[in-house]
Homo-oligomer: A and B are copies of this chain.
């Protein structure tokens, strides 16, 4: 127990939640919000979309590099992107947060602010309808996001057809470049993450480091893609080539990417882009921010300019950065 009433351990879960809830974004789908055993949400479509993702201190983020606002933002944004990738409009989130007991209540405020800002900017109308606050030695965020299909069929990974256009909305390779820059420029002489060095690096490279710490997935383009007739779609989170191979496998086709359209090698293999990769009928005008990067072909796997591409790269959390706190 802390004597200091500014920490979670000193005020307890109930008081901490009472402080944080007013800061959270509200959902227009709420029928019963926080404060009962469960939330009740409108699903006028008769269906709903649900996805969950966990972020863990160490493997997924470092507190020396990510502010509490960044964490709230990223936890919301990455889940909103998965909803968007189904062609759905995000409606609500539930958020489970586990933090060390000695954490400052200020941390919770800023985390809530990040959740709210991400919802307001990326998916207006989406809000937090419930949650859970726990104590853990390892700071952990688990978000479950919901979406509404608005009467449309969900856009799966399995519908791409030979001849379709392959298109992407959002940045490729920026988040991976940002992470590389942090490892190169924001660690001290012992290799430990350093907050001041991270801030200086972010000044020099705001776009790339911003893409890593506060990704801006093109959430609203998910619905635009569905309306435009997208035949397949996914959230590019493990690198374009690896994720393209998932559409190829699920659809039993080949995905032929144009190296010139894709850009840098990092754009092919970098992780955590949270771009939307979709396939469209060749005749469909590309909606929103989508740009053409290739073609669906007969065959299997991923090609680049017609040649099989084997260096799939991508992000496996079990082979990535891990361990040291910071």
Contacts and interface: CB of A to CB of B under 8 A. Distances in A.
Interface of A: 1, 8-9, 12-14, 31-32, 35-54, 56, 58-60, 82-83, 85-86, 88, 92, 94-96, 98, 101, 129-132, 134-138, 140, 142, 144-147, 149, 154, 156-157, 233-235, 250, 316-319, 322
Q: Which of A12, A37, A40 has the most CB of B within 10 A?
A: A37
Nearest to A11: B318
Nearest to A158: B36
A152 B168 CA distance: 43
Contacts of A41: 47-50
Contacts of A140: 54, 56, 98, 136, 138, 140, 142
Nearest to A88: B38
B12 A101 contact: no
A12 B85 CA distance: 24
Number of copies: 2
Contacts of A8: 318
A28 to B, nearest CB: 14
Contacts of A98: 54, 56, 140
Contacts of A235: 37
Contact of A82 (B14, B38, B86, B316): B38
Contacts of A32: 86, 154, 156
B52 A43 contact: no
Contacts of A60: 134
Contacts of A56: 98, 134-136, 140
A14 to B, nearest CB: 8
Nearest to A95: B52
A8 to B, nearest CB: 7
A132 B52 contact: yes
A88 B36 CA distance: 13
A151 to B, nearest CB: 13
